């Protein structure tokens, strides 16, 4: 319990019920950890729709956890006002529901807060994951950039305190937002321990056969887009042993054609394997069969796949320039995002049989233990108590 008596804490649950990765994982993992650590307070998850059943089931519905959906007012369903995705309800209509339910603290889990919530006297916490749309607008549709900028400015006006998920993101908030530094805290993203569990030999064999995985491969996981910079890994294949392949897992974009075109014109297309729609249950076994993990992304807010790889027992090579050193710690190898030679050299230094490989993995696993579940939940509960005491 974070106050003298049990209180009601509201959460923006849109991503919890609709996003299988990224922001969705952040919300589900955090809420599950909070509900376990704090059984007294009521956690109300405000979602604009029922979402995806398989994602909702990942939320542990304890006695203090409830989903709340839009209710019609005056015969109008706010879900159908302007947009079928409930954007108007999330930005304004939700205020009536929060007041009706007696919510005292509201947490915007994905960088947004309802407009006018501060006027209701409801204290707020705003989690900001990244400001890549401001730092690197070239990766976004220009119209989207303007919309994200507006939402960011409006949310800053409403936020009692801000949680940045990395020091990198905190620096970006200070660089691009007019917000007092003393009201920003860094609380690293909570991640579960699922990737620490070892898949059985039979599970690994079945997954390998199902996806036709090669015997030896580098793994990269994340949306296959230009910012993630998988082309660096494709280019490096030419300097790596001929038996070593590259497996990319993630949602496809037009960038995939760039990768295939380069691989085809440089004789490495047969060593490039791209997989989409891989369920988490299969992902565990794929991680654990890789030789090493690559994450050459040009910019990230945190870099959760780096932690998942380390939990899975993999050494990691990642790119410099954002927050990945924070996510992986000093025992991973970091290279410039355009340095093909350095990337290939780093991979060679991390392959099975390389000196100090086992030591790198063990020390990295010690480092990422700080991100696992309850420590993050307890820090967030302290943040809530701090907000309510103001």
What are the 10-residue block averages of pLDDT along the chain, 390 residues in total?
86 93 88 91 94 92 93 52 62 93 97 96 97 95 95 96 96 95 92 84 96 98 96 98 97 96 98 94 95 97 93 97 94 98 98 96 94 81 92
**8-190+373-389 and 194-371, same CATH topology:** yes
Report in angstroms the alpha-carbon separations of 27 from 100, 373, 387: 23, 12, 19
Which pLDDT belongs to residue 82? 42
Instruction: For the beta carbon of residue 267, count every other beta carbon within 10 angstroms.
Output: 10
8-190+373-389: CATH homologous superfamily?
A: Glycogen Phosphorylase B; (3.40.50.2000)
Enumerate residues 6+ apart whose C-beta is below 8 A from 103. Answer: 8, 9, 10, 44, 122
CA distances from 94 to 46, 48, 159 (A): 8, 9, 16
Report residue 155 CA to chain centroid gap.
20
Identify the burial level of 177 via C-beta atoms within 10 angstroms of its C-beta, where 0-12 means exposed, 13-18 middle and 19 or more buried. middle
- Give dist(CA 124, CA 144) in Å, integer: 25
The CATH code for residues 194-371 is 3.40.50.2000
Position 78 scores a pLDDT of 46
Ranges of each domain in the chain: 8-190+373-389, 194-371
Q: How many residues does the chain have?
A: 390
- The number of angstroms, rounded, from the C-alpha of 301 to the middle of its chain's C-alpha atoms is 8
Instruction: Identify any residues that bridge with 186 across adjacent strands, giving them in sequence order.
Output: 164
pTM assigned to the model: 0.87
Point out which residues pair with 68 in neighbouring strands.
46
Confidence (pLDDT) at 373: 65
Measured in whole angstroms, the distance separating CA 230 from the mean position of its chain's CA atoms is 18
C-beta separation of 280 from 194 below 8 A: yes
Give a three-class secondary structure readout of the chain: CCCCCCCEEEEECHHHHHCCCCHHHHHHHHHHHHHHHCCCCEEEEECCCCCCHHHHCCCCCCCCEEEECCCCECCECHHHCCCCCCHHHHHHHHHHHHHHHCCCEEEECCCCCCCCHHHHCCEEEEEECCCHHHHCHHHCCHHHHHHHHHHHHHHHHHCCEEEECCHHHHHHHHHHCCCCHHHEEECCCCECCHHHCCCCHHHHHHHHHHHCCCCCEEEEECCECHHHCHHHHHHHHHHCCCCCEEEEECCECCHHHHHHHHHHHCCCHHHEEEECCCCHHHHHHHHCCCCEEEECCCCCCCCHHHHHHHHCCCCEEEECCCCHHHHHCCCCEEECCCCHHHHHHHHHHHCCCCCCHHHHHHHHHHHHHHHECHHHHHHHHHHHHHHHHC
Which pLDDT value is given to residue 83? 46
Confidence at residue 390, expressed as pLDDT on a 0 to 100 scale: 77
């Amino acid at each position: 319990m974070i106050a003298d008596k049990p209180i009601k804490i509201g959460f923006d649950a849109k991503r919890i019920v609709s996003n299988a990765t990224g922001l969705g994982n952040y919300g589900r993992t955090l809420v599950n950890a909070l509900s376990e650590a704090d059984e007294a307070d009521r956690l109300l998850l405000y979602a604009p729709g029922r979402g995806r059943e398989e994602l909702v089931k990942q939320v542990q519905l304890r006695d203090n956890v409830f989903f709340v959906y839009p209710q019609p007012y005056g015969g109008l369903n706010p879900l159908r006002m302007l947009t079928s995705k409930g954007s108007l309800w999330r930005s304004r209509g939700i205020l009536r529901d929060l007041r009706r339910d007696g919510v005292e603290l509201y947490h915007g889990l994905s960088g947004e807060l309802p407009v006018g919530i501060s006027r209701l006297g409801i204290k707020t916490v705003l989690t900001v994951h990244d400001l890549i749309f401001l730092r690197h607008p070239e990766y976004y549709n220009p119209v989207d950039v303007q919309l994200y900028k507006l939402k960011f400015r409006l949310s800053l006006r409403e936020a009692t305190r801000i949680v940045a998920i990395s020091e990198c993101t905190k620096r970006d908030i200070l660089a691009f937002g007019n917000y007092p530094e003393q009201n920003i805290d860094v609380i690293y993203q909570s991640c579960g321990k699922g990737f620490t569990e070892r898949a059985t030999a039979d599970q690994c064999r079945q997954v390998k056969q199902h996806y036709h995985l090669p015997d030896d491969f580098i793994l990269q996981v994340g949306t296959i887009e230009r910012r993630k910079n998988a082309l660096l890994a494709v280019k490096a294949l030419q300097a790596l042993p001929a038996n070593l392949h590259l497996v990319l897992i993630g949602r496809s974009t037009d960038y995939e054609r760039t990768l295939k075109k380069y691989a085809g014109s440089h004789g490495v297309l047969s060593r490039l394997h791209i997989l989409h729609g891989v369920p988490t249950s299969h992902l565990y076994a794929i991680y654990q069969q890789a030789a090493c993990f690559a994450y050459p992304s040009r910019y990230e807010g945190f870099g959760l796949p780096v932690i998942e790889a380390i939990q899975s027992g993999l050494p990691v090579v990642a790119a410099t320039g954002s927050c990945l050193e924070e996510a992986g710690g000093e025992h991973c190898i970091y290279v410039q995002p355009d340095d093909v030679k350095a990337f290939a050299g780093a991979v060679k230094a991390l392959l099975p049989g390389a000196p100090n490989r086992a030591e790198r993995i063990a020390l990295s696993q010690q480092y990422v233990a700080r991100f696992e579940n309850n420590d993050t939940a307890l820090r967030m509960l302290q943040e809530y108590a701090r907000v309510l005491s103001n």
